[in-house]
A and B are shown apart, each in its own frame.
Chain A
Amino acid sequence: MANVEMIMLMLIGFGILAYLLGKFNPKAGSIVTIVASFLSFVFLAYYGYGTETLDATANVLTFTTYNVTQLGLFFAVIVTFVFSMVSFFNPFYIEKIQYNAAYSMLYLFALAGTIGVFFTNNMLYLFFFFEFVVWTSLFLIPMGQSKKAPVWYFGFSAFGSFSLLLAVLLVQNVTGTFNIESIATMSSGYNITVLLLLSIAALSKLGAFPFHIWLPKVLKNSPDPISAVFSGGLEKLGAFVAVLGLVKLGSSSAMFSINGYINMPYANYFIAILGSMTIVFGTLMAIRQDDAKKLLAYSSMSNGGYILVAFAMMNSMSITGGLYHVVAHAVASTAAFLAIGAVHRVTGTTKMSELGGMIHKMPISYLVYLIAIISMAGIPPMGGFISKWMIFQSVIDNGLIFVGIATFFGSIGSFLYVFRPLAALFLGQELPEHRDHTKEAPIVMLVPMLILSGLSVYIGVHVKVIMGMISKVVEELGYIAVPYSDFIIEGINGKLNAGLIALMFGIGVGIAFIIFILLKKSKKVGLMDTYTAGNFIYTESLLHYSLDFYAPLERLYEKESKIMKKFYVTVANKVREFGAFVKYFFFANKPELTVFFIMLVIIALLWGEIL
C-alpha cells in the first residue's frame, strides 16, 4: 500500500538528496531525479490502478487532507509519467546549467507540488500546491536562455492562482467548507463568478487565449527538459482546474440553446469560444514561427484550446474526448519537445532555417518527432486522432458552428505547421556547419523518446486501457461512460474502430515503402549546387526552403499577430506610468507638499462630516 503523502514526502526528500549530491557531482543529482520521478510514477500507477489501494491519509503534515479521486489519479499518473520520461534527459543537460544542484531539487519539488494539486481535497491547499508549483518551476525557466520569460510566467501564473484563490474563498463563503466536493453542490448567485474565476486560472495555466503570452516565451527559452515538462505536464494543471470549473461546478448560468442544439450554459459557451480563439490564434501563430520550440509551444497552446472546448461542452462524449486529448497531447508533445531537444543539444540551435538534414545523423529522433506530430495533427493511427474524433463528434452533434469551424481550422492548420520542422529540420540537405559533429542522441535519451512514441501509437490503436481509466473519471463526475471495447469506441454517430484504421494505415505505409524500395533512388547534390535566375547565391540560409515558407499567408495577419502582447505591455506601462506619476507628485522632496495633502484629507473629512 502506498500513501499519497509519503510519495510527496519521498519526492521532497529525494529533492534534498539530489541537491546535496548535485553539489558534489551534478550528474549524480540528476540521476536522483530519474529514480525519484520514476518511483513516484510506478507507485501511483501500480497502487492507483492495480488491485491494491492508494492510501490518502495524512500522517505527517496533518494540516491538509487528501482524497484519491479517479480524476486526480488520472492526471497525477500522466504528469508523473511525463516527468519520469523527461528526467532521463536531465543528466545530459545538467552540466550546462548554472545552478545544477538546485535544478535537480526544484524539478522534484515541482513534481511533488503537482501531485499535491491533484490529490488534496482541501481547496485552500489546492491553492497552496498550485503556488508551490509556480515558484518551484519559476526558477527552472531562467536556467535556459531568457531572463524575461520567467517574469511573464510569474505574472500570468500569479494572476491565475489568485483567481483560483478568490474562487476558493467565494465557494467557502457560500458553502462554509473548503472541501473540494462542495464545488459540485454549490448553487448561488456566485456560481458564474466562481466559474469565470476558475476559468481564468485554467486559461492562464493552459496558456490559452488571452493569457497565452507566457507560454511560447517559457517553452522556447527554458532548458529543453523543462520545455517538455511544461508542455506535457505542468500545463495539465490548467486542464485539471478546467474540469473543476467547467464540469464539476453545478449549473452556473441559464442554458443557451437554439432549436434544441448547443445546450450549454452561457458561461460555458463563452469559455468554449475562448477555447476556439485559442485554437485559431495558436495555429496562426505556429505557422509564423521559425523556431521549432516556439512552433511547438504555439501548437501546445492550440491543443489546450481543444481541451477547453471539450470540457466546456459538458457531455460524456466531449469530456471523454477532452481527457483522451490530455493523454494524447501529453505523450505527443513531450516526445516532440524531447526530439527537438535532442537536436538542440548537438547543434545548439532550434531555428529551422539554421538546420537541415538531421535525419542522416539522427534517424531515431526523426522517427520520434514524426510520430509525435502525426498524433498532434490528429492523423490515425495515433492517440491524437482518437481524441479529436470524439471532440469533433460532440462539437458537430451539439451544433456548435463557430466552435466547429475553429476546431477544424486548427486541425487543418496543424498540417501546415507540424510538418514544417519535419521537412526543414530533419529532411532536406545537411548543412555544412552541422555535418561533422552531429550524431544520434545516446541510448539513455532514446529510450524515453521511443517509449513515448510507442505509447502514442498504442493509445491510438488499442483504446481499451486509456478508455478504462477515463470512463472511471467520467462516471465519477456523474456522466455515463462512453461504451468501448478493445479497439472500438461507440460514438453518437457511429463506431470508431481504431484497430481497423490502424491496419489500413499500416497497409498503406507498407505499400508506400515497397514503392520507395522499388523506385529509382534520388540523386544527391551539394547544397550549393543551385542557381537562381542564373545567379549563384552566396548566402546559404537564403536557399533554405523553409525560410519564409508561408510568407504570403503570414502577410495576411502580420499586423494582428502581436495584439495581445501589445495589450499587456501597455498595461504594464500604465502601471509604471501611474507609479512614476505618484512618485513625481508625492515624493518631490518638498515637505510643504505633505502639509498640503494633510490639509486636503482634513478638508475631505470636514466636508463629509460637519458641513
Chain B
Amino acid sequence: MNAVLLIVIPLLVAFLSILSKKYAPYLLLVVSLFNILSIYFLKEGIISIGGFTAPYGINLIVNSYSIAGLFIVNTLFFIVVALTISQYRKMSSILLVALAGLNGLLLTGDLFNLFVFIEIVGISAYLLTTTNHKPLSTFNYLVAGTVGSVLYLLGLIILYSMFGTLNMADMHAKIIASGASATAVSLPFLLMFIGLSVEAKLLPFNAWVKGILGNANKLSGPMLASVFAAAIALTVGRLLNGVFVFSDTLGLIVLVVVLFSILAGEAMAYASTKAREILLFSSIAQAGIAIAVFFMGLPGLGLLIVGANAITKLVLFMVITHITEQVGSDEVNDLQGIFSENKVIGVGFTVASLSVLGLPLFVGFVVKLNVLVALFAKDEMLLPIVILISSVIEGVYFVKLLIKLWYKDGDVKQVSFDITMKYVVVVIAIVLVFFGVVSGDLLDLATEIGGIY
C-alpha cells in the first residue's frame, strides 16, 4: 500500500466527480472511507516519488506521527462528510480536493511541496466557507490566507538560497552542518512561522477566524475547526520539531505569541455570549497550547493534544451548528434548556466539554496532565502556570454554557437531531471515556513519536 494513493486517489476522483454531479457525493464517501481503511496497510518508511531519491525528488514520510495524524484527520473528515453531505452536495468535488490536500500536508517531506498543499487546502477552505453565505468574511479569509502563504513562500525562498535544498530532513541536517548561527536563519523561520500561524489560528494573525467560524454551518464549522485545524497544527508541529532551529529572540517571539494566544483566547471566549464564538475563541486558545507544546519539543504529547482537541471540537461544533441552524440564533440565552429535550446529544456534548476542560475520566485529563508533568520535567514553569490559569477561565465559561444548555428557564426551543448524529456523538463520547481510563497506548504512542524527532 503506497501512501501516495492517499493523495492521488482523492485528487483523481475529484476531477472525475466533476463529470457527474449526481454521483459526486457517493464518490466522496467511498473515497474517504477507502482512505481510512488504507491507513491500516501503510508501512512506515520514506517514499520517493518518481524514483528520484531524496533530497532531489519529492518524498513522503510515513512514520507513527504521520500515520496517527492521517488516522485522526481522515476519520473525522469521513464523519463530518457522512453527516452533512446530503445538505451540501455541491461541495463534493471541493471536499475531495481538500482531502487530498490534507493528506498531503501530513505526509510530504518537502518544504515546497508543503506550500502547494497549503495552497490546495487553503483554496478548498475558502470555497467551503462560501456555504456560510458571508462573502465578506470569506474574502477576508482569502486575503489573510494568501498573505500567510506568500510569507511562507518568501521564507522558504530565503532558506533555499542559503542552503540549496527543499527537503525537510536535508534542510535540517544542512543547517546544523553548516554551522549557520541561529540568528541567520531566524528571519526565514519567522516568516514561515507567521505564514503557518495564519492558518493555525494564532493571535494576532487570525482575524479571519471570527467571521468564518462565528458564522459556520454544519459543514464548515466542524470541518474547519476540527479537521483542517488538526492537519495544520500537526504540520506546524512537524516543522517546529523537524526543521526549524530557534534563536533566542525568535524563541521568545514565538513564546510570547503563543502565550498571548492562550490567555487572550480564553478571555475572549469568556467575553462572548454566542455559542459559536465561545467555541471558536476557545479553539484559538487550544491551538496556542498545542503549538506551545510542540515548541517545547514534545511532539508526541502535541499530537495527543491536537487529536483530543480535534475530536472534542468536532462534537462541540457539530452540535452547536446543528442547533443554530434550527433555532436561528446562537446566543446562549436563546439556547437554554435545549439538552433537557435531547439528553443523548446533551451527554455527548457534556462529555466533550469536560474533556476539553481536562477533567478526569476523559481523555483531555490524561493529555493535559501528561503535558504538565512533561513540561515540569523540563523545568519549564511559566507555560504550565499559564495553561492552568487559562484552564480556570475556560472552566468558568464552559460550565456556564453547559448549565444554560441543560437547565431550562422558560420556553425551550424545539430542536431535533437525527439518529446517525446521535449515534456518532455517543460513539465519540465512549471513545473519549475509554481513552481517558485506558490511557497506556496513547502514552506509548507519544513516547514513540518523541523518539522520532
Contact = CB atoms under 8 A, between A and B. Distances in A.
A1 interface: no
Residue of A127, A602, A605 with highest tally of chain B CB at under 10 A: A605
A124 interface: yes
Given A169-B384, A173-B376, A582-B203, A131 B208 contact: no
B30 interface: no
Q: Which of A575, A579, A597 has the most CB of B within 10 A?
A: A579
A274 to B, nearest CB: 20
A598 B395 CA distance: 31
A124 B373 contact: yes
Contact of A597 (B151, B205, B369, B376): B205
B182 to A, nearest CB: 9
Chain B binding site: helix, strand, loop or mixed by DSSP?
helix
Interface in A135-182: 135, 138, 142, 147, 150-151, 154-155, 158-159, 162, 165-166, 169-170, 172-173
Contacts of B209: 587
Contacts of A590: 140, 207
A89 B367 CA distance: 39
A392 B249 CA distance: 58
Contact of A598 (B194, B211, B354, B393): B194
B392 A128 contact: no
A165 B205 contact: no
Given A151-B400, A162-B392, A605 B250 contact: yes
B393 A169 contact: no
A606 B267 CA distance: 30
Contacts of A147: 403-404, 407, 409
Interface residues of A, number: 56
Nearest to B182: A609
Contact of A589 (B136, B198, B377): B136
Contacts of A138: 399
Interface in B362-402: 365, 369, 372-373, 376-377, 379, 384-385, 388-389, 391-393, 395-396, 399-400
Contacts of A610: 183, 187
B379 A173 contact: yes
B186 A158 contact: no
Given A158-B392, A606-B187, A576 B205 contact: no
A166 B403 contact: no
Q: Tell me the dominant secondary structure on chain A's binding face.
A: helix
B272 interface: yes
Nearest to A580: B271
B403 A142 contact: yes
A158 B267 CA distance: 16
Nearest to B193: A601
B403 A601 contact: no
B267 A587 contact: no
Q: Which 4 A-B pairs have the closest CB atoms?
A: A579-B271, A579-B267, A608-B249, A591-B143
Given A594-B206, A601-B253, 5 more contacts: A98-B407, A151-B400, A594-B144, A597-B204, A598-B151
Interface of B: 136-137, 140, 143-144, 147, 151, 183, 186-187, 190-191, 194, 198, 203-211, 247, 249-250, 252-253, 257, 264, 266-272, 281, 340, 354, 357, 359-361, 365, 369, 372-373, 376-377, 379, 384-385, 388-389, 391-393, 395-396, 399-400, 403-404, 406-407, 409, 437, 439-440
